[in-house]
Each structure stands twice: as C-alpha cells, then as structure tokens.
C-alpha cells in the first residue's frame, strides 16, 4: 500500500461517530461499524479486521544502515551477547506534534499576542507569555509531505527544534570592594548565602536529634556556604591586578592577599606575604565570626550554637585547602 493510501486510511479511521473514532469501533469489533462497511457480511468482517490490524506491530527484518541503534544490557552478564537487547529509537511523531502545537500557541495564540502587546505598552496583562530563543524548524517530506505521516502532513512538514546551547555567563560587573573594612557583609547580602544561613538557623531551632541525618544536613549547609565563599572570592580575581593597592581600599591585609592574588606579580613584598601562608587562618576566623553574628541575630540558642560551632571547626579544614589556591 502506498504512503498516500495509508494516510487516507488514517484520516478515515480518525473520523468520529458518537464521540468515538472509527478505529476504536474497529478494535471493539462493533457490529454496527462492520455492517456499515459492506452489505456482504464476509467482506465487511474482512475489512473491519484489516482496519483493526493496523495497530499491530509489524516485524522488521533489517534496519536502515544510518538508523540509530544501541545495545542495552537487559541481563546480568555484560560479557554475554545474549544478555543485551538491541534498541532502535524511533522518531516520536505524536510528541513532536504536541510540542509543535504548544509552541505555535505560545507564539501566535491570542493570549500570547495580548500579553506581548501589554508588555510593549507597559501595561498589566492577565497572563504571561513564553519565548523560545534560537528556535529552528526542520522540514520533513516533500512539497506536499504525504510521505512521512498524517501528523507531519498536518504540520506542513514543519518540526520545531529547540535550542540546545550551553548557557552564556553574563557578568554583573563586579566592582572592587573599596571603602569597606570587610567583604563578609557584602558576602552575606548574596541571595544564596542569605537562604543558606536562614535555612541552617531554622533547622537548628527545631532541636533536631543528634544523629547521622542531622550531621549530614548541617554539613550540607556548611559545604554550600564554603562553596559560595570560594565562588565569591573568585569573582574579584577577574579585576585588574593591584586594585587592592588603591588608597580607597580599607580591607585588612589578609583579605587583600585573598582577593587580589595577582598583585604579587608586580609587588614582590605582597607575593612574599601571600606565600607565608598565615593569612588563610585569619580569613577562616573572620568567616567564623561573621557566621556567628548571623546566627545570633536569628536567636540561636546555646545548644544550637555549640552544635554548629563544632561542625564549623571541622569544615574550616576544607576552607583551608581551598584558600591558598584561589
């Protein structure tokens, strides 16, 4: 049977009768459907069975040489070829059709058009809208794409391809921390840091039991805070070397050594002080004092204070490993 004839049959079986498709009636062996096909009972039964049979999978003796295939371990022995199944991923035309309709609605629907116009006019809108940057369209089939599928024909052969690109980092323009005596207050204003400190305090205020789950959760908060601190410090490393030598810089020496490491390439004395390795300990102490103040503001009790202080002492060993290399 040719592709065009197959699509015509598909269109026929999609027709609705009493809120049910003709294909459903064929699969259910509906007597009225069979009688409507032919006055000859034998011919009607043959056609009804043929229509119902289109849903049955057909054996494939060979695959195209360019078809994507992969071996999937279905057994226990990866050295036994018999424990593998050969999978051939197929193009999900029904999923592509749903995505196509959804994207078209988001791009050209009345609600989306109204919302975009409201944004241009700086006015409120009842609903938002979606954009799909770098959207591409792939054409399948000929000028009348009848040789692919009925759904592809309804799309005019168009199939959307969403952009699969790595994110582009947009710098917010980090400024040198001048006119301040410590960068930890600035560190504490970061959204992620505020969320972590509040989450830690709220968890400790629940008086959690002293068990493995509590230790793991507290350690998770400290690990995340230390990660944020290392990320925070690395943002200043992209500034022009020597910014900490500005007369407006009021940071203590240990924070200058921490945040302006490339200044040592021009100043031998600065490089020697950084190599001495004493400044990381002062940074850790400043970090601990800052965190202590944050938790005290949230009314953490003595028991909670002892709990996090013990965890902090161990976690600062991790920070000691990180600081000399940042």
List, for residues 88-143, the tens digit of each pLDDT value.
877 778 888 899 999 999 999 999 999 999 988 988 888 888 989 888 888 887 65
55 vs 271: CA distance, rounded Å: 75
Strand partners, 71: 86
Residues 284, 316 contacting (CB under 8 angstroms): yes
Higher pLDDT, 63 or 131: 131
Q: How far apart are CA 130 and CA 141, in angstroms?
A: 29
pLDDT computed for residue 316 by the predictor: 57
- Average model confidence (pLDDT) across the chain: 80
Question: What is the C-alpha separation between 162 and 139, in angstroms, rounded?
Answer: 14
> What's the pLDDT at 2?
44
Question: 150 — phi, psi (to 5°)?
Answer: -65, -40
Place of tokens 């006015």: 123
Given pLDDT bands bounded at 50, 70 and 90, which one contains residue 254? Answer: very high
Q: Is 326 a residue whose pLDDT tops 50?
A: no
Q: How does residue 315 score in pLDDT terms, banded at 50, 70 and 90?
A: low
Instruction: Tell me the pTM.
Output: 0.47
Please calculate the CA angle 104-106-109 and round it to the nearest 5 degrees. Answer: 75
- Tokens 């102490």 belong to residue: 285
Q: What per-residue confidence (pLDDT) applies to 41?
A: 82
Residue 277, C-beta contacts closer than 8 angstroms, at least 6 positions apart? 324
- Which of 98-112, 140-154, 290-304: highest mean pLDDT? 98-112
């Amino acid at each position: 049977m040719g592709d065009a004839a197959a699509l015509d049959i598909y269109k026929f079986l999609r027709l609705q009768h009493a809120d049910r498709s003709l294909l459903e009636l064929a699969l259910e062996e509906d007597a009225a459907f069979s009688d409507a096909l032919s006055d000859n009972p034998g011919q009607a039964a043959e056609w009804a069975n043929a229509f119902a049979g289109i849903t049955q999978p057909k054996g494939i003796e060979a695959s195209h040489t360019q078809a994507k295939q992969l071996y999937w371990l279905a057994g226990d022995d990866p050295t036994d070829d018999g424990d593998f199944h050969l999978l051939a991923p197929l193009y999900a035309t029904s999923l592509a059709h749903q995505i196509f309709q959804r994207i078209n609605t988001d791009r050209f629907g009345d609600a989306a058009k109204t919302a975009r116009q409201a944004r241009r006019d700086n006015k409120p809108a009842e609903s938002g809208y979606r954009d799909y940057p770098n959207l591409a369209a792939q054409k399948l089939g000929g000028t009348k794409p009848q040789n692919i599928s009925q759904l592809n024909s309804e799309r005019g052969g168009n199939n959307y391809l969403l952009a699969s690109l790595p994110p582009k980092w947009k710098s917010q323009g980090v400024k040198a921390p001048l006119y301040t005596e410590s960068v930890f207050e600035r560190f504490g204003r970061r959204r992620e840091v505020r969320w972590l400190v509040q989450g830690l305090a709220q968890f400790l205020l629940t008086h959690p039991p002293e068990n493995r789950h509590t230790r793991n959760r507290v350690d998770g908060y400290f690990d995340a805070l230390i990660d944020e601190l290392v990320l925070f410090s690395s943002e200043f490393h992209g500034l022009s070397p020597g910014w900490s030598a500005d007369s407006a810089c009021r940071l203590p020496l240990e924070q200058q050594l921490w945040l302006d490491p490339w200044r040592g390439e021009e100043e031998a004395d600065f490089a020697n002080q950084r190599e001495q390795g004493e400044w990381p300990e002062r940074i850790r102490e400043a970090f601990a004092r800052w965190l202590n103040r944050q938790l005290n503001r949230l009314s953490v009790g003595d028991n909670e204070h002892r709990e996090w202080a013990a965890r902090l002492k161990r976690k600062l060993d991790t920070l000691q490993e990180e600081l000399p290399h940042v």
